[in-house]
Amino acid sequence: MRNDYPPISDYAAIGDCRSAALVSRDGSIDWLCLPRFDSPSVFAAILDRERGGFFRVAPSGPCEIARRYVDSTNVLETTFRTATGVARTTDLMPVANEERKGRELWPEHEILRRIECLGGEVEMEVYYEPRLAYGGRRLAIEAHPHETFIAQAGADVLLLRSHIPLEIAPDRASAHGRRTMRAGERAVIGWSFTSGWPAVMPADGENAEREIEESIAWWQAWAGQFTYDWRFRDAVLRSALTLKLLTYAPSGAVVAAPTTSLPEHIGGVRNWDYRYCWLRDASVTLRSLLDLGFTVEGESFLSWLLHATRLTQPKLQILYDVYGGHRVPERILRDLEGYRGSRPVRVGNGASNQLQLDVYGEVIEAVRQYVIRGGRIDRTTGRLLVGLGESVCRFWREPDEGIWEPRAGRRHHTHSKVMCWVALDRLVALHDGGHLRAPVERFRRERDAVRRDVETRGWDASLESYVASYDERQLDASLLQLGFVGFEDPAGDRMKRTRRAVEAQLARDGLVYRYLADDGLPGKEGAFGICSFWAVEACALEGDVDGAVRRFESLLARANDVGLYSEEIDPASGELLGNFPQAFTHTGLIGAALTLARCAGQPQEQAAGTGRKV
C-alpha cells in the first residue's frame, strides 16, 4: 500500500458540464477524462503516480496553501505563500452559453491556469505529462512557435500554450519549466483538447482574461436562481454547484461522480466506476435542484430520460452512459496500480445488469416533483410513466439487488418494495391531477397490495423495526427513507423504533454505515455520506430539530476545505473514501438542509414541496 498519494480530500473539482478535472492542493491536475466524463483519461495520476499522467502548476519550493472557489462558481483559486512571496493560481475549464459558442470558434475542451504574484517573488514551476488511454499511451510532445506545444495521437490533439518557458524531456513524453515571478506579474497557461474536430488554440492574453471573467459570470448567473435562504446557505449552494458540475450539458444526464475506482477501502477491491448516470442518483439530483429553484434541469432530465430508455422501455436499466447508451460492460485495467495500491481499477459497471426496483419510484417521484412546480408532461412522457407503472405491477413481487448493489444475489428488499409503492402512489396522484391517463384502479390495487406485503413481511416484531430484507434480521440505512416518502409517518411509533434500531446498529460518531451485513466482498467500507444526512432528516422529522441541527453541523465539518464530499467517510480517521465528488452525498446535504429549514418553521417555498412529510 503506497502512501505517496494525496488524500482524496486534497482534491477540488473544476469542469465545463461535459467533464471534470481533479486538482490537488499542490496544483496538480491528476484526473481528467475527455471528451466526456466516461471517456478514457488524459491525466490519471490519482490512479497511478508513475503511469497515469498529470499537469502541475505550483511554486518550486515549500509553501503554505489555502484555496477556495470564487464566490458562487466552480472556478478554483489557490494561494501559495512561500518564504519569499505570495502567488495565486486560478484554475477553470471555461464555460459559456450555447449562443456564444455558435458565434465563435471554441476549443472542444479547454483548461486555463492563471498565475498572479501578489507580493514579493515566487519561483513557479510547471510539470506537464499527458497520457492517453488510462496511462497506456505516451505522447510525443513537439515545440512550436509562440510558446506552443503540441501532442497528437490519431484524432486526439492536445495543445499547450505556456507563459512559463518549458523544455521537453529527452523522451519527449513530458515538459518542465520554471519562472520567477514578481509582485504584479501575471502569466497564463492554456491547454486545449480536440478529438476529431479542428484543433483550436487555447485562449491567451486578453482573450484568456475575458474567458475567465465570462466563466465566472456564467456560474454566478446560474447560481443566481438559487432560492434557499436560511442557515447553512453556503454549504447548500456549494452542493448545488457541485451537482451542476456533474451534469452532462449536451444530454441532460447527471453522472454519479466524475471518477472511477477511488476505493471504499484503502488497498481493497471495492473500487467502482461511477462516471455514468444512475437513474436513482439523477432523479434525486433533479429533485434537489428543483427544490433550490433550478427548473431548467427538470426539462433536460425528462428529455434525456425519454431518450435513454427508448431501447429498454417499459423496463428501466439502473444506469446508462451520458448519451443514454445502455451497454456499459465492466472490465479491469490491469496496468494501473490503483489509488494507494487499491486494485482492481475498473471501467464500466457490471451493476448495469442488476434489477433494482427502487429506481421506478425514484424516477416517477422526480417527475411528480417537476409537475408540482408547474412543469408539464406531454403524452409521450405520460405513456412512458404508465409503462413504468405496468412494469412495477409485474415485477414488485420479485427479489432484486436493492439500492446498494451488493453482488451476493437477490433478496426481497424492504426499501425496494416501498419505492414500488411510491411509484404506484405517485402515478395515481398524477392521474387524479389530470397530468396523465393511467389504469388507475389497477395501480391502486397493486399499491395497496405492496403496502400490506411490506407491513407484514418487512416488519420484525422482535427487533421492533423494519428490516433490510424479508426473512432476515439485518438492518440498513435505506429504512430511514420510509418516513421521507410518505409510506410511514416519520414521527409515528414504527418509524421512531426503526430509526433507533438503525442508529444503534449502524451509527458511529455521528456517521452512519449503509449496512454491516456480509455483501460478498472482502474488506470494510466507510460510513456512507448520504445515509448520515438521512439520519439528520429522520431526527428532525421526528421532532428533535435542535439535535438534528447539531448533527448537521458536525457533518458539515466533515467536508474538505472547499466543501466537497466523497461517497464515504472513515469514522475513525475522518478520511474521505470512494469516488469524488459524489452527487449522492451532496443531494443528502441539500435534503437535510431543506428539511431542517421546514421543521424550524422557515417559510421556504422550495422546502414545502419536497415530498417529505412533517
Residue 21: phi and psi, rounded to 5, are: -110, 145
Q: What is the mean pLDDT of each run of 10 residues along the chain (614 residues)?
A: 87 97 98 97 97 97 97 98 98 82 78 98 98 94 93 94 96 97 97 88 91 96 95 97 95 95 95 95 91 89 82 85 91 96 95 92 93 91 94 97 87 98 98 97 98 98 96 95 97 97 96 91 92 98 96 98 98 96 97 96 53 32
DSSP string, 169-189: -TTSS-EEEEEEEETT-EEEE
pLDDT number for residue 483? 96
CA–CA distance, 386 with 40 (Å, rounded to integer) = 37
Q: Where exactly does CATH 1.50.10.10 map onto the chain?
A: 233-608
pLDDT tens for each residue of 282-321? 899 999 999 999 988 888 888 888 788 877 878 888 999 9
Check: CB of residue 53 under 8 Å from CB of residue 25. no
- Residue among 51, 38, 58, 584 at smallest CA distance from 285: 584
The answer for residues whose C-beta is within 8 angstroms of residue 202's C-beta and 6 or more apart is 107, 110, 111, 112, 159, 160, 161, 190, 191, 192, 208
Alpha helices for 438-582 (secondary structure H)? 440-457, 493-506, 529-542, 545-556
pLDDT number for residue 2? 65
Alpha helices for 309-402 (secondary structure H)? 358-372, 379-395
Cα distances from 563 to residues 141, 157, 383, 602, in angstroms, run 36, 34, 41, 24
CA–CA distance, 280 with 258 (Å, rounded to integer) = 16
pTM of the complete model beyond 0.85:
yes
CA–CA distance, 64 with 82 (Å, rounded to integer) = 7
pLDDT number for residue 603? 65
> From the CB of residue 601, how many other CB atoms can be counted at a distance below 10 Å?
8
pLDDT tens for each residue of 563-584? 999 999 999 999 999 999 999 9
CA–CA distance, 590 with 606 (Å, rounded to integer) = 11
CA–CA distance, 130 with 173 (Å, rounded to integer) = 8
| Assigned CATH class of 233-608 | mainly alpha
> From the CB of residue 379, how many other CB atoms can be counted at a distance below 10 Å?
9
pLDDT number for residue 400? 96
**Structure-block grid coordinates of residue 80:** 501559495
Check: CB of residue 230 under 8 Å from CB of residue 593. yes
Cα distances from 466 to residues 149, 230, 397, in angstroms, run 61, 34, 18
CA–CA distance, 143 with 147 (Å, rounded to integer) = 8
Q: Residues 362, 367, 373, 375: what is their CA dihedral angle, to the nearest 10 degrees?
A: 170
Q: Where exactly does CATH 2.70.98.10 map onto the chain?
A: 8-223
Candidates 3.40.50.150, 3.30.43.10, 2.60.40.10, 2.70.98.10; CATH matching 8-223 = 2.70.98.10
